Amino acid sequence: MAIFKGAGVAIVTPMHEDGTVNYEAFARLLEFQIANGTDAVIVCGTTGESSTLTHEEHLDVIRYCVEAVKGRIPVIAGTGSNCTDTAVYLSAEAEKYGVDGLLLVSPYYNKATQNGLYVHYRTVAESVKLPIILYNVPSRTGCNILPDTVMRLCRDCENIVGVKEASGNISQIARLAAMAGGTIDIYSGNDDQIVPILALGGKGVISVLSNVAPRQTHEICETFFRGDVEESCRMQLEAMEMCDALFCEVNPIPVKKALNLMGMEAGVTRLPLTEMEEADSARLRKAMENYGLL
């Protein structure tokens, strides 16, 4: 059974002007998500700026999220690292806090071989009992988890149950879906590919868009699952300008800006991410107005 089905928000980590975590704003963001139908929270992923959180902050944010959500929807913790020992440590600690699953990004910078990816993921999987979703995002990590490797991992590790696919390569995702035959939970990692991946048998999306439009993103999935593919497709296309604007600079710069424009106090990004350029801010504001967010 899937950890979740539908739209899971890859939630931002709100910060004060001095760069410390703003837990009061985080609580408000979580309530906003739950009130608007989000199907799961993915905490401390890329959008949550996990790469610039200390290990202590990383774990504190996960623990706070579990306590604030109180079991109302699943909480999935991003605990991946380019260091296998670190991924094991973060995963084991997150398990103690009561998360419902883990999201493990492929090791970045190291550029592991397919066998290296297999051994890395298997080592982490054997250290916990939680269900695990692999996260394939070659544009950030420099390596691609090929379908054969995903299949091998899901076959050999019973708690590796799915993959967040952000390669953008629909042919590769279709190949994986064909090989898996419904035995692997596939989630879109790109908001502009929700419906195409659902059409391949996907379980939903791990979404940046959901930060600002949780109800709309949930409805794209829910409408598809109800069988109204045409309407779901219409909603997907309607969101395209907004999706593009959210990635006109590197994530999560635009989505934090968007939340701030909505009065949601996402705050600053940590260096090396900087304030959004003026022209991109104007583009984002226009997209938000057109999508009914402002």
> Which helix (H) or strand (E) is 134 found in, with range?
strand 132-136
CA angle 147–150–154, rounded 5-degree value: 140
Q: Show the DSSP H helices in 181-272 as ranges.
A: 194-199, 214-225, 229-238, 240-246, 253-261
Buried b (16+ CB within 10 A) or exposed e, 231-255: ebbebbeebeebbebbbbbebbbbb
Give the residues across from 6 on adjacent strands: 204
Q: 48: which 2 tokens?
A: 């949550």
Cis preceding-peptide flag for 272 (omega within 30 of 0): yes
Contacts of 73 (CB under 8 A, 6+ apart): 4, 34, 38, 39, 40, 41
User: Which residue do the tokens 């071989």 mark?
Assistant: 113
d(CA 244, CA 234): 16
The tally of CA atoms less than 13 A away on the side-chain side of residue 45 is 32
Active-site residue among 118, 121, 135, 187? Answer: 135
203 is catalytic: no
Helix axes 214-225, 229-238, angle to 10 degrees: 160
Q: 254: which 2 tokens?
A: 């635009």
96 is catalytic: no
What distances in angstroms separate CA 258 from CA 42, 85, 243, 262, 264, one per listed residue?
19, 36, 12, 6, 9
Active-site residue among 23, 97, 129, 164? Answer: 164
Residue among 116, 153, 119 at smallest CA distance from 134? 153
Active site residues: 135, 164
